[in-house]
A and B are shown apart, each in its own frame.
Chain A
């Protein structure tokens, strides 16, 4: 019985759902691009946590390995996202996503 499995699985589920929902709501209502990116990270991490939890409960290390992959991908994604934001800031002097409405009909 390790430390992870000492907490009931339901707790993980509820916690991760809340975390994920917070992330979703953050993405939806925030106007600041950086905050949206952080919200996305939050969603990713909620999934990561859930993966780790299930992996521990089912005694299968694959889930935890998968978490590492997701982290790597998330890091890459953040790197690109931030680079885009830097460029956006250079041209518009703002990182409010409402400014970015040039691409329309």
Chain B
């Protein structure tokens, strides 16, 4: 079993090594089998682990000592518990489906093999991230997925803008990673260990709200903010849409961006002991959700709408975490992985059909041309909007229920954001698929439905997005909450220690909330339908507020002004004054001095043999002389 578990991340690594080393010589057909194949085997192995979990219980397979310095020893070990199994299944399952889709999506691309090599490497690092049993090994995965994200955003590296987007993502993540790293160090100095069981066991005895706890959790949260694109480090995610669409689906929607959520959920015991951090997390999440949803309404790039939607949904997950609803956050993480991957792949299918067109103002009327894409996209939209019985309904309902039990104003905002989600998603759906085509003529002629290799993954994900919610039907509906029970042992301590426990909401109130939210959702769908189908009007008014939102609140510009330009200016100044005037001069001066000196003494080289002999003898005499004297 130990070897079997090790194989789960090792197979994608093997795929990466083979495809990476032989990317010039391996034919596309082999890469198309090898790339998704390794992930599929990993998925099957994960399933085996899941089915044998009852007999295994929580296990800590330990492979080797990674770092051992005197008394400090950091083993390379995995933690196999319900939480990591859930993540493994999401990563390998959704990852496999997206890999299959990529075969079709990337089929015309020159870098086909390179693409699959990177994707496999990403899966490897992501699995390391979720399977590790200590923060140090998690950090390997944490950095690794950042690297893969960088490589894949800048996959089409001939476009300088894409490269800039990749760099932006990398640098912003680095800011977060610094926080994560500092948090790790603080954990080590406090608990003398990186290992989760050891750290959490000791943490339980700490006083809640102590300064160390708050600092540790805040630093870790900074890491999560960077990786999961929350305010203020969210601007990289919309730009990351420069990468191929399967990348956006896999990395920037389903898995990597949820690493922050996973990490906070994993460190739940630490977080519940730091109520201040929980509050900060809640405020950040709320602000992020609201901001991202507002921006998403006015975006015109099909992928950017989804990107802002992802940021907003990640805010949802953090909001759930901040009230201590760990299961709710993980549940939404899972359903979000399904429907957001589906939406991205659907968008990819549209982009593929329109030969690269991403502007929804130039789409429309694609319902008949792309029926499979349309129906699956519709399922995704309904799921994210939270219509029963689709998955998004159950996961959102669980979060909203928990939030309601903790604070009414926050609940109101969360419901508001939920309505905005419905509005922008249906706007996207209607503008893309309904009405008449607004594209240029040659584009419309060539529209074709994607091949089966792309539509079948869409259908699989649509099924998952549809039925995924049944894993955790709320109690008031007579559901058993399989997922809740499955994850309960992981979060038992955290839930027990949670001071801000949301109080239980009466079933009747819960029902009425649910119905009210549902009615609002339907209302929003109707509004969107009126606006974008009946009147077929895109928002054209030009008030200042709308222009502000259309320009994403000028956050990028503000960052540019506050951080990027000063940094460039400082670099420029350092270049001019320190580099050119100081370091360059020392280096060049050394060279010049040697040249001048040599120029002076080369005249000793007269060419007279007699003189050389004379020097030689003088030299020998001097050596003798000094040897005797000294």
Q: Which residues of A contact B (CB under 8 A)?
A: 24, 27-28, 31, 36, 97-98, 100-105
Residues of B within 8 A of A100 (CB): 607, 609
The docked-state distance in angstroms from the alpha carbon of A27 to that of B605 is 19
Q: How far is the CB of B611 from chain A (nearest CB, A)?
A: 9
Write out, one digit per residue, whether chain B residues 599-630 have a CB within 8 A of any chain A CB (1) or not (0): 00011011111100110010000000000000
Q: Are B602 and A105 in contact (CB under 8 A)?
A: yes
The docked-state distance in angstroms from the alpha carbon of A101 to that of B606 is 7
Residues of B within 8 A of A97 (CB): 608-610
Q: Are A24 and B617 in contact (CB under 8 A)?
A: yes
Q: Are B609 and A28 in contact (CB under 8 A)?
A: no
Q: How far is the CB of A21 from chain B (nearest CB, A)?
A: 11
Partner of A103, one of B602, B607, B613: B607
Partner of B610, one of A28, A103, A104: A28
Residues of A within 8 A of B613 (CB): 27-28, 36
Query: Contacts A105-B602, A105-B603 given: A28-B614 contact, CB under 8 Å?
Result: yes
Number of interface residues of B (CB under 8 A): 11
- With a 10 A CB-CB cut-off, give which of B608, B609, B617 has the most chain A CB atoms: B609
The docked-state distance in angstroms from the alpha carbon of A97 to that of B607 is 10
Chain A-chain B contacts (Cβ-Cβ < 8 Å), number: 30
Whose C-beta in chain A lies nearest to the C-beta of B610?
A97
Q: Are B617 and A28 in contact (CB under 8 A)?
A: yes
Whose C-beta in chain B lies nearest to the C-beta of A31?
B610
Give the 7 A-B residue pairs with the shortest CB-CB distance, closest first.
A104-B607, A101-B607, A97-B609, A105-B602, A105-B605, A103-B607, A101-B608
Q: Which residues of B contact A (CB under 8 A)?
A: 602-603, 605-610, 613-614, 617
The docked-state distance in angstroms from the alpha carbon of A101 to that of B603 is 13
Q: Are B606 and A104 in contact (CB under 8 A)?
A: yes
Residues of A within 8 A of B602 (CB): 105
Q: How far is the CB of B624 from chain A (nearest CB, A)?
A: 12
The docked-state distance in angstroms from the alpha carbon of A24 to that of B610 is 12
Residues of A within 8 A of B614 (CB): 28
Whose C-beta in chain A lies nearest to the C-beta of B613?
A27
Q: How far is the CB of B615 from chain A (nearest CB, A)?
A: 11
Q: How far is the CB of A72 from chain B (nearest CB, A)?
A: 24
Residues of A within 8 A of B605 (CB): 103-105
- With a 10 A CB-CB cut-off, give which of A98, A100, A105 has the most chain B CB atoms: A105
Q: Are A102 and B607 in contact (CB under 8 A)?
A: yes
Whose C-beta in chain A lies nearest to the C-beta of B599?
A105
Q: How far is the CB of A95 from chain B (nearest CB, A)?
A: 11
Residues of A within 8 A of B607 (CB): 100-104
- 20 A–B contacts from the bound complex (CB under 8 Å): A24-B617, A27-B617, A28-B610, A28-B613, A28-B617, A31-B610, A36-B613, A97-B608, A97-B610, A98-B608, A98-B609, A100-B607, A100-B609, A101-B607, A101-B608, A103-B605, A103-B607, A104-B606, A104-B607, A105-B602
The docked-state distance in angstroms from the alpha carbon of A28 to that of B613 is 7
The docked-state distance in angstroms from the alpha carbon of A31 to that of B608 is 11
The docked-state distance in angstroms from the alpha carbon of A89 to that of B310 is 91
Residues of B within 8 A of A102 (CB): 607
The docked-state distance in angstroms from the alpha carbon of A97 to that of B606 is 13
The docked-state distance in angstroms from the alpha carbon of A98 to that of B312 is 91
The docked-state distance in angstroms from the alpha carbon of A28 to that of B614 is 6
Q: How far is the CB of B320 from chain A (nearest CB, A)?
A: 82
The docked-state distance in angstroms from the alpha carbon of A12 to that of B5 is 87
Q: How far is the CB of B596 from chain A (nearest CB, A)?
A: 15
Whose C-beta in chain B lies nearest to the C-beta of A27?
B613
- With a 10 A CB-CB cut-off, give which of A24, A36, A104 has the most chain B CB atoms: A104
Q: How far is the CB of B595 from chain A (nearest CB, A)?
A: 14
The docked-state distance in angstroms from the alpha carbon of A24 to that of B616 is 11
Residues of A within 8 A of B609 (CB): 97-98, 100-101
Residues of B within 8 A of A104 (CB): 605-607
Whose C-beta in chain B lies nearest to the C-beta of A36?
B613
Q: How far is the CB of A53 from chain B (nearest CB, A)?
A: 21
The docked-state distance in angstroms from the alpha carbon of A17 to that of B38 is 85
The docked-state distance in angstroms from the alpha carbon of A101 to that of B612 is 11
| Further 19 A-B residue pairs, CB within 8 A, beyond A98-B609, A103-B607, A105-B603 | A24-B617, A28-B610, A28-B617, A31-B610, A97-B609, A97-B610, A98-B608, A100-B607, A100-B609, A101-B606, A101-B607, A101-B608, A101-B609, A102-B607, A103-B605, A104-B605, A104-B606, A104-B607, A105-B605
- With a 10 A CB-CB cut-off, give which of B603, B605, B607, B614 has the most chain A CB atoms: B607
The docked-state distance in angstroms from the alpha carbon of A101 to that of B605 is 10
Q: How far is the CB of A103 from chain B (nearest CB, A)?
A: 5
Residues of A within 8 A of B608 (CB): 97-98, 101
Q: How far is the CB of B151 from chain A (nearest CB, A)?
A: 55
Q: How far is the CB of A76 from chain B (nearest CB, A)?
A: 21
Residues of A within 8 A of B603 (CB): 105
Whose C-beta in chain B lies nearest to the C-beta of A24?
B617
Residues of A within 8 A of B610 (CB): 28, 31, 97-98
Q: How far is the CB of B537 from chain A (nearest CB, A)?
A: 86
Whose C-beta in chain A lies nearest to the C-beta of B621?
A24
Whose C-beta in chain A lies nearest to the C-beta of B611?
A101
The docked-state distance in angstroms from the alpha carbon of A31 to that of B613 is 11
